[in-house]
Structure 1
Amino acid sequence: MAEEGYKVTLNVYDLSNGLARQLSTSFLGKPIEAIWHTGVVVYGNEYYFGGGIQSSPVGTTPYGRPMRTVELGVTHIPQEVFEDYLRDIAPRYTAETYRLLTHNCNNFSNEVAQFLVGAGIPDYILNLPNEVMSSPMGPLIMPMIQNLEATLRSNTAPQTTQFVPTAASVSATPQPAAPSPAQAKREAPAPAPSPAAEEKKAAKETTAPAADPLGSARGKVQEEVMREFAAIMASGTLRASEAAALAMRRVMERHGDGATMQQS
């Protein structure tokens, strides 16, 4: 088999399950075919970026049935060499480094395809972020995406990965000896600030930004997506990247009419 090579294909999924095609014109002001997710299929496995570099036997990923399959070529690289390569690049593909627009599952698939067959994945998949951001609603979506990314990076739920070495287990913190009366006095916490001081501090930290030409629509949609995202993550059934896509999809479904959204 090594002499004949290994077939390499790209599984292409629509994370919106058809809603992007139905609602994108009214929501974004331009048609978008799908919200793409991809995985590279080779050696009987599908390799993809989801909270880290992962692999699953073909047909068993959490994304269901692919919308289409793209032939990428044939590789003569042995599986063990390829998976050594994945371990080398794993530090660049983690939950912390994930970026919805510039460093996502499709960027991973593109890099892997170039390693295996010397060619990348289709441009229409890689260009989706530019298509979205160049839409009339791009200025509204960008802050929402930034907030989602901040939430993804601060998510403390463990992310299982296939090719990142297991982190060293954290030993239990020993309980300190009881302090002497003199130590307790020195280490006593400072008195809690008054409610007025707390209110003043909070007001300072949440200073309103400059006037936004999109009015209240920006804040409304951001808040809705973040509430949806938090509720989905609390259920513990989806990865952060999948929860973000589902939250966006639910808000898109509620606001299929972009004009109605801005007037509400």
Structure 2
Amino acid sequence: MFCGRSSRCSDDNRKGSVPVFLNVYDLTPINGYTYWVGLGVYHSGVQVHNVEYAFGAHEYPTTGIFEGVPTKCDGFTFRKSILIGKTNLGPGEVRKVMEDLAPEYKGNAYNLITKNCNHFCNAACLKLTSNPIPSWVNRLARIGNDSPKEVSCGLPLC
């Protein structure tokens, strides 16, 4: 069963017994400095039942959601795990949630500002726990989306 707005879902699913973590990775060494002022460029994945689900780009109109080993995403430096909440969904039900998200998160639809791995993780965490990811994880994408078109540096003070 997929827990969204279904009347069969209860508050028990939010409190659940299985932890749901957001695993955050640095995309650049500069994050070591910018993290402390609330900025950075991050990749993230959702860890549940010892599987990490993430979203990435490719050129095909098929899902960009993939599974991996928690905290070991190739090409990125692991920063931290954040407990987002808990779920009562079993492994098959979690996989069903990811399958339900797949049509929205196709590899060729990936966009650094409007549909990135952090957007996917937020959607997945909301489905699994009813809790969003921390706002700092995707702050630069929001700044980039809210910035006037002539501003190209992506920083709030440009």
| TM-score scaled by length of structure 1 | 0.44
Specify which of 66, 82, 86 is matched with residue 78 of structure 2. Answer: 66
Q: Map 1:55-94 to 2 at 5 A.
A: 55-94=67-106
Separation of aligned partners in 1, 2:82 and 2:75: 16
CA separation of 1:134 and 1:84: change in aligned 2, threshold 3 A: closer
**Mapping of 1:109-188 within 5 angstroms?**
109-132=121-144, 139-141=151-153
Unpaired segments of 5 or more residues in structure 1? Answer: 23-30, 143-257, 259-264
Counterpart of 1:37, as a letter, is H
Residue in 2 aligned with 1:242? none
1:36 aligned to 2:42?
A: yes
From 17, 23, 47, the counterpart of 2:53: 47
Structure 1 pair 81/138, CA: closer, same or farther in 2 (3 Å)? Answer: farther
- Cα distance change, pair 133–107 in 1 and its aligned pair in 2 (3 A): closer
Take 2:131 and 2:119, find their aligned partners in 1: how far apart are those partners?
13
In the alignment, what sits opposite 1:172? none
- Cα separation, 2, equivalents of 1:133 and 1:20: 24
Distance in 2 of aligned mates of 1:32 and 1:66:
17
Distance across 2 between alignment mates of 1:32 and 1:89: 29
Q: Work out whether residues 36 and 125 of structure 1, in 8 Å CA contact, stay in contact via their aligned partners in 2.
A: yes
Unaligned runs of 5+ in 2: 1-15, 58-63
The answer (yes or no) to whether the contact 2:46–2:53 under 8 Å persists in 1 is: yes
In structure 1, which of residues 99, 102, 107 is the aligned counterpart of residue 119 of structure 2? 107
Cα shift at 1:40: 0.6
Once residues 45 and 145 of structure 2 are traced to their aligned partners in structure 1, the CA distance between those partners, rounded to angstroms, is: 24
Q: Which has the higher helix share?
A: 1
4+ residue stretches of structure 1 with deviation over 4 A? 132-138
Task: Count residues with an aligned counterpart.
Answer: 132
Structure with the larger strand share: 2
- The structure having more radius of gyration, on CA atoms, is 1
Letter in 2 for 1:16: T
